[in-house]
Structure 1
């Protein structure tokens, strides 16, 4: 890797890895096709109403029958019970207990105490009318050191959770890895070590054999790009490294882990569907120059095509490989047969959208839209449409589920016991409308999971940012439905806006 590329990657991380948010940068409009244009031209869209759309005469937007309205969480962010029932230590336990790493010195030791309060949370989901619930399984809760015989107490917890979802008519959607790598594996090299991907395949197999008969949809690796950028380029997520040479070797091993998990599910013969969970956001040129177009193309390669092309086309993008250099650890780390494993056929793609990216001719980024409390998040609902249509156009009609989309708000519990988060309602309404238009224009979108069900431990931001539909009063762990939760319940009941 050249010194120039190393500096470029560190600068890109500083610009796009999002300073510890839920989900950083992502997918590019026409950049993946080799052309760059305005947002509208990228998507091939305008604001002309479609006469064949499924809007009611009163203007209401109805989603397809059976659309999977849901909400999402992750294990480390809500479960707590960090040292109970055989759970081992994760990289996030280590990272959050390191002074100076997390805002206010917060940790996920207790979080939203979901491990003990899951039944109450299941009732909240039922009362909201959720049709789907996307959660993650804690690898160190299943294998304390990342290998060996699975911990039955850990499996039993997730079996109770899954059974409770079915009892309430909610479809489980389980993510195998949402960043909580067992610390024991990190101690032997973590995702820089190819063996970690092999261990992940074994872990996936154990979980599939224990729960596969009751989980209809599995997601493999959540946002591999965030682990690469935030964990190994910028260093504000676990394991807290700033090592570009290691970062993209990590990307390859995460992709390999994804493919091994897909193959593990197929080997069990189970009925579940499986796919990756990728944070994908549109990249647009900041101006009309050829330099901005070229820079956006490469930016998109690192942000999106590195992950999409390997999974759906069985090859890494040539421009990214050339930029990394033939002697990079990633390029040298790819073995014969790896991309065949990574591109094992999947049943669906989970898309997570938070913000667009605007790229200058120098490869820097600029902001064009208002930002949320998470300063990296520009609020641009059209980006939702652009993501979904781009994926369908460039990678075929793979079924899509949105597994994260949301907004942090300065939520406070009022004197009357309510939480008025109107900004979140406006945000979701606009993004739902964009998703509806994508469906109307041929995108096979099956479900939509709001981030997040509960206020939770928000990684490097600790408990400073609240993203939930449900307010959590952390000292008492009392749950309060926010105004957005009541609104969302009506959306689900109507199956539309």
Structure 2
């Protein structure tokens, strides 16, 4: 695919488009034991040895909790229109129930004001993988009560900052969270259920989403949605067992969340899921889950190939095997770079939901690369520039075809704590020296600034 120039690319996007960056609280904030923050599932999970490849944790991360003013200064320097951040439930409500921790909520109050002072739109995500450990003691997302507690959390946050935050996402990637945290055990809280047995987790996340939408609306005339992680999925062969496995994974990955919130039902294809536990579903739940949303967030990184399981996993977790697919080149995650896959996902959503599909926004798209700080204090990352340019080109073409897309958020703004991979992968357009916390703009950040400048100039 040709490498479009930032000037040509910027001119291809509409006037009201949001160009931003994204982060998640646990991955950048640090300050885990400060200002009354409660223990989170990640704090507890990472105390177990051997779960993170470099033995690290998020105790300091990018120290954004203390350095947020400087980070907002960098956003201003880049000309960003929006910043998508997540809110630590443990920082706001240390046990996930009861009284609000004023100091924790005040941090996000200051952050929002700082963004608005710099003409950067705050885009708040209420939940990105990080819940109070005290709620996990009561069942976590396996328990229906957690949905109600999440609705209360949304109420507290919206009451405080809803007058100034006009853009929200409730939950980041419900199926991804269910899979990595409750089935594979790779992420906190580290449960290892079968996919069928973990369905209550998905249902309670979506129920919590609906309750949160209603809570936010009571305090804010905002646009609200959630995010879903989507990928083109293909069977590795046309053998019946591979096709069947692909149907189940494709449904879970791409359709379950969106069918629930847009159509008010789960896909019939899930009836083939072994040991499916539907006991959490109550008749009236979908009236809450399908509370109208204003936009839909989309994460895209790569396509996936699916086969029937070649052997039972140690915990009998999933009725499929998956591999990322698409060929070279690869990121340092070992993921192929396939910009056309983003176009496939966008077209598939448009075809499946038609007029029911709300405006879309790309809430996460980016790549980890072998970034190194040179002796001259530079970080050149031409592979990331090519990645971003070619994905944005696909996005511009989708807009021209008639699909409404309201924004694009690079994952990620800063190098950060990458969950079980610790600090071994660098995703940011801003380089972080984790010893000194010095920030350095990578060449991709400067490229993004040029693109945004070109976009703004085209609107004059």
Q: Shared fold (TM-score greater than 0.5)?
A: yes
How far residue 225 of structure 1 moved from its aligned partner, in angstroms, is 1.3
Using the alignment, how far apart are the partners of 1:399 and 1:247 within structure 2? 30
1:385 partnered with 2:343: yes
How far residue 57 of structure 1 moved from its aligned partner, in angstroms, is 12
Using the alignment, how far apart are the partners of 1:117 and 1:57 within structure 2? 32
Aligned to 2:436: 476
How far residue 359 of structure 1 moved from its aligned partner, in angstroms, is 2.7
Aligned to 1:122: 72
Does the C-alpha gap of structure 1 residues 85 and 246 become closer, same or farther in structure 2, counting only changes over 3 Å?
farther
Using the alignment, how far apart are the partners of 2:294 and 2:408 within structure 1? 17
Q: Secondary structure at the match of 2:279?
A: helix
Using the alignment, how far apart are the partners of 2:51 and 2:64 within structure 1? 24
Aligned to 2:217: 266
Aligned residue runs from structure 1 range 327-338, under 5 A: 328-329=276-277, 331-338=278-285
Aligned to 2:316: none
How far residue 333 of structure 1 moved from its aligned partner, in angstroms, is 1.3
Aligned to 1:418: 378
Aligned residue runs from structure 1 range 18-417, under 5 A: 62-244=12-194, 245-268=196-219, 270-287=220-237, 292-325=242-275, 328-329=276-277, 331-360=278-307, 363-366=320-323, 367-370=325-328, 371-375=330-334, 377-396=335-354, 397-417=357-377
Does the C-alpha gap of structure 1 residues 59 and 419 become closer, same or farther in structure 2, counting only changes over 3 Å?
closer
Q: Is 1:56–1:62's contact at 8 Å kept on the other side of the alignment? A: no
Using the alignment, how far apart are the partners of 1:286 and 1:208 within structure 2? 45
Q: What residue ranges of structure 1 are gaps of 5+ in the alignment?
A: 1-46, 48-54
How far residue 287 of structure 1 moved from its aligned partner, in angstroms, is 4.2
Does the C-alpha gap of structure 1 residues 72 and 57 become closer, same or farther in structure 2, counting only changes over 3 Å?
closer
Q: Secondary structure at the match of 1:388?
A: helix
Q: Secondary structure at the match of 1:284?
A: strand
How far residue 56 of structure 1 moved from its aligned partner, in angstroms, is 12
Does the C-alpha gap of structure 1 residues 59 and 425 become closer, same or farther in structure 2, counting only changes over 3 Å?
closer
Using the alignment, how far apart are the partners of 1:154 and 1:323 within structure 2? 41
Q: Could you give the per-residue CA deviations for residues 155-206 of structure 1, whole angstroms, max 9, x where no partner exists?
A: 1111110011111110010000011110000111111111011100000001
Using the alignment, how far apart are the partners of 1:154 and 1:203 within structure 2? 13
Using the alignment, how far apart are the partners of 2:370 and 2:380 within structure 1? 10
Report the TM-score, using the length of structure 2 for normalisation: 0.91
Q: Is 1:61–1:433's contact at 8 Å kept on the other side of the alignment? A: no
Number of aligned positions between the proteins = 439
Q: Could you give the per-residue CA deviations for residues 440-485 of structure 1, whole angstroms, max 9, x where no partner exists?
A: 1111101100000000000100011000000000111000000110
Q: Is 1:295–1:360's contact at 8 Å kept on the other side of the alignment? A: yes
Q: Secondary structure at the match of 2:249?
A: helix
Q: Could you give the per-residue CA deviations for residues 254-291 of structure 1, whole angstroms, max 9, x where no partner exists?
A: 111111101112333x2111101111111123345666
Q: Could you give the per-residue CA deviations for residues 367-426 of structure 1, whole angstroms, max 9, x where no partner exists?
A: 332332113x22110011111122122123411111100110111110000001111001
Q: Could you give the per-residue CA deviations for residues 74-125 of structure 1, whole angstroms, max 9, x where no partner exists?
A: 1000001101111101001111221111121111011100000000000000
Using the alignment, how far apart are the partners of 1:57 and 1:472 within structure 2? 28
Does the C-alpha gap of structure 1 residues 59 and 179 become closer, same or farther in structure 2, counting only changes over 3 Å?
closer
Using the alignment, how far apart are the partners of 1:161 and 1:324 within structure 2? 45
Does the C-alpha gap of structure 1 residues 81 and 393 become closer, same or farther in structure 2, counting only changes over 3 Å?
same
Q: What residue ranges of structure 2 are gaps of 5+ in the alignment?
A: 310-319
Report the TM-score, using the length of structure 1 for normalisation: 0.85
Identify which range, 61-70 or 87-96, moves more after superposition.
61-70
Q: 1:437 aligns with which of 375, 397, 417?
A: 397
Using the alignment, how far apart are the partners of 1:485 and 1:322 within structure 2? 46
